[in-house]
Structure 1
Amino acid sequence: MINQNESCGAEQISISYLTCLLSLLEEWTGVEHLEEYLSYLIYLTWLFMPLLILLLLPAVIVLLLYISVIILHIYKRKTDLKEAYLNDFWDGARQMLATIWYVHARIWNGYELRGLEKIPDGPALIVFYHGATPIDFFYLVATVLIRKKRILHIVADHFVFLIPGMKLLLDVFCVLHGSPEECRKVLENGGLLVIAPGGVREALFSDENYTIMWRNRKGFAQVAIDAKVPIIPMFTRNVRETIRIFGGRIRFLRSLYEYLRLPLLPVYGNFPVKLQTYFGDPIPYDPNVTAEELTEKAKNALQYLIDKHQEIPGNVWRALMERVTTERKDD
């Protein structure tokens, strides 16, 4: 540190620029030994840098979603409306975004999809286990659109429709509120409907043991019966290891969610773990099965996929190592 009587003029060649800057800051703020405070601040920054990264990485997914929205708005303005008479106006945009998300899935999570041949050409209802975020569903939508040229209709929680700026993205990718009438219409028109019966509750309060939390939900089963379509279970290995939840076991936070029905718990991670999505065998339509019985069948089928493909409890380090180890062979 230089003496207060020294100046930082051009003649003070031996004085470094940084030293001059610190001296001027001390004079301007009136704080002595500013260099020591800055050194301490830099030390704290390095100390907490890993924690900051863990908290900020999930924002990458949000950023990708908003980039997708921007691309859709650009596409809407630049695409000739006459194309709407030839095919679905949004086909080009869907394919473009599917490619972006598919590349991201392959690079960041080494994403793979197994059992795609179990998806019929006609209608079906897909039920899946909900991770802390639906990142595996984003990857699934992209992969199915690229490899089977089919759109997946997803039932989302009400709060999703309240997220600012997301309406166009939700509309283009056929996100539904989930009324029985909406769901039946999709299936009767030959579409693929995707539901996570555990919803946000399962996302927030399940854990590394991959506990299914459907409670008494059986409306999806009744929809499948009414539309006479099969139910196909789906599970993504390591989905709870990519992003994790703070405070999922705190009773007060659970009560707060039940009251507000908003996912207010903080998340961390977005680890580049290996993600593999598996489809189970379809549960065929049976007119003699009740909604309660079909719900139990679907739950058992999903539990079978978890037991077969997921090591319990889940472990982030092990899931990371699956990116570099020999590919696991399934029975």
Structure 2
Amino acid sequence: MVLNQAFSYLLSLLERSNLDLIYLTWLWNLFKPLCILLISLFVLPAIILIFMYGSSLFCLIYKHWNRLKAAYSEDLWYGAIKTLAVFWELQATIWHGYEVEGLENIPTQGPALIIFYHAALPIDFYYLFAKLWLYRNRRIRVVADKFVFKIPGLATLLEALEIQPSTSTMCKLMLEEGHILAISPGGVREALFGDQNYQLIWKQRTGFAKVAIEAKVPIIPMFTKNCREAVRAMTLGRRFLSYIYEKTRLPLVPIYGIFPVKLITYLGEPIPYDPNITPEALANRVKKEIETMIETHQRRPGSITRAFFDRFINSSKKEKKTK
């Protein structure tokens, strides 16, 4: 009885408002692709940004709260980073079905250098950071380009994660202190100007190899399947934006996505320290290792649709990409 009255009231309201349901349906079908596009371009990237700024805000609150508690811990950030690692792992599992293969290649103690392919947004690295912290009790140290330290609102998060400027001296110091360090030789250039064909954009960079040789540490190659399908960089005006970046180092290329695609990080076997190898030869060997990982595990060109269905179809066992 109540449902009938409510339905009658709704019909009378529509009649009084002179709304044409057929016309409204037509408008929705007309603008639905635009709405989906806007959600993909702005809403989904905003979610990950909100999560990052939420992480920074949490660290800020945690920092000031624990300053009020004397002798809480020798390490101010230990509890905060542990808590954030849990949150990031939940995000990785729920949204991307995230997995890591080769976690045993990360040493339980001692230094190591991880070299990875840089996606448009390196969320795969954030997820790996959480996995290692929770399951191997190791924290990855990372260096970043100077512009990262100028982004408003992230200072506390950078402090908590101990992210340092990208210099060879700083990298060598971290390794000599016994830390695991992660470096992407392609950096921002590879992130913004790479594409779904997954070519490495390293140019002639060999600094990471020189640091590894001087610090006498092994190198662990890393690649994450579908990382470019999770977040894409806009290709419109790429040549002009590339010119601007090379002149100013400003990362002006818009990104979009945070699509719920399957992500699997592969950690290769460590390349041991060899005192007789040159930086150029070592860099070339690492590059070939990562290219082999891409060839083995990644379909090229990448497809967002197929990467999404990887969440439900076990394709990780396919050793060769399909062309």
**Both proteins in one fold, TM over 0.5:** yes
The range that moved more, 170-179 or 227-236, is: 170-179
SS of corresponding position for 1:258:
helix
How far the C-alpha of 1:242 sits from its partner, in A, is 0.6
Match of 1:11 in 2: none
Match of 1:60 in 2: 47
2:251 corresponds to 1:263: yes
Match of 1:305 in 2: 293
Counterpart mapping for 1:57-206 below 5 A: 57-79=44-66, 80-83=68-71, 86-120=73-107, 121-206=109-194
How far the C-alpha of 1:46 sits from its partner, in A, is 3.1
Match of 1:274 in 2: 262
Q: Write the deviation string for residues 49-101 of structure 1: whole angstroms up to 9, x where unpaired.
A: 111111121111111001001111121122254345x4311110001101001
Structure 1 counterpart of 2:38, one-letter code: L
Counterpart mapping for 1:244-263 below 5 A: 244-247=232-235, 250-263=238-251
5+ residue gaps, structure 1, are 1-13, 23-32
Q: Structure 2: how far apart are the matches of 1:154 and 1:229?
A: 16
Match of 1:50 in 2: 36
CA contact (8 A) 1:205 1:249 kept: no
Q: Structure 1: how far apart are the matches of 2:141 and 2:15?
A: 58
How far the C-alpha of 1:19 sits from its partner, in A, is 5.7
Counterpart mapping for 1:279-290 below 5 A: 279-290=267-278
User: How many percent identity over aligned positions?
Assistant: 47
Q: Structure 1: how far apart are the matches of 2:94 and 2:35?
A: 24
Match of 1:242 in 2: 230
Tell me the TM-score normalised to structure 2 length: 0.88
Tell me the TM-score normalised to structure 1 length: 0.86
Q: Structure 2: how far apart are the matches of 1:132 and 1:248?
A: 15
CA contact (8 A) 1:218 1:292 kept: yes
How far the C-alpha of 1:45 sits from its partner, in A, is 4.5
Between the two proteins, the alignment pairs up a number of residues equal to 305
Structure 1 pair 302–190 and aligned structure 2 pair: CA distance change class (3 A) = same
SS of corresponding position for 1:125:
strand
Structure 1 counterpart of 2:103, one-letter code: L
CA contact (8 A) 1:248 1:254 kept: no
How far the C-alpha of 1:326 sits from its partner, in A, is 2.8
Structure 1 pair 232–46 and aligned structure 2 pair: CA distance change class (3 A) = same
Match of 1:222 in 2: 210
Bigger-Rg structure (1/2): 1
How far the C-alpha of 1:43 sits from its partner, in A, is 6.4
Q: Structure 2: how far apart are the matches of 1:278 and 1:74?
A: 35
How far the C-alpha of 1:47 sits from its partner, in A, is 4.1
Q: Structure 1: how far apart are the matches of 2:194 and 2:236?
A: 8
CA contact (8 A) 2:297 2:316 kept: no
How far the C-alpha of 1:16 sits from its partner, in A, is 4.4
How far the C-alpha of 1:42 sits from its partner, in A, is 6.0
Match of 2:279 in 1: 291
How far the C-alpha of 1:215 sits from its partner, in A, is 0.5
Q: Structure 2: how far apart are the matches of 1:141 and 1:320?
A: 23
How far the C-alpha of 1:308 sits from its partner, in A, is 1.3
The range that moved more, 118-127 or 320-329, is: 320-329
Q: Structure 2: how far apart are the matches of 1:271 and 1:202?
A: 20
Q: Structure 2: how far apart are the matches of 1:317 and 1:17?
A: 39
The one of 283, 300, 304 equivalent to 1:316 is 304
How far the C-alpha of 1:216 sits from its partner, in A, is 1.2
Match of 2:4 in 1: none
Structure 1 pair 290–276 and aligned structure 2 pair: CA distance change class (3 A) = same
CA contact (8 A) 2:146 2:166 kept: no
SS of corresponding position for 2:57:
helix
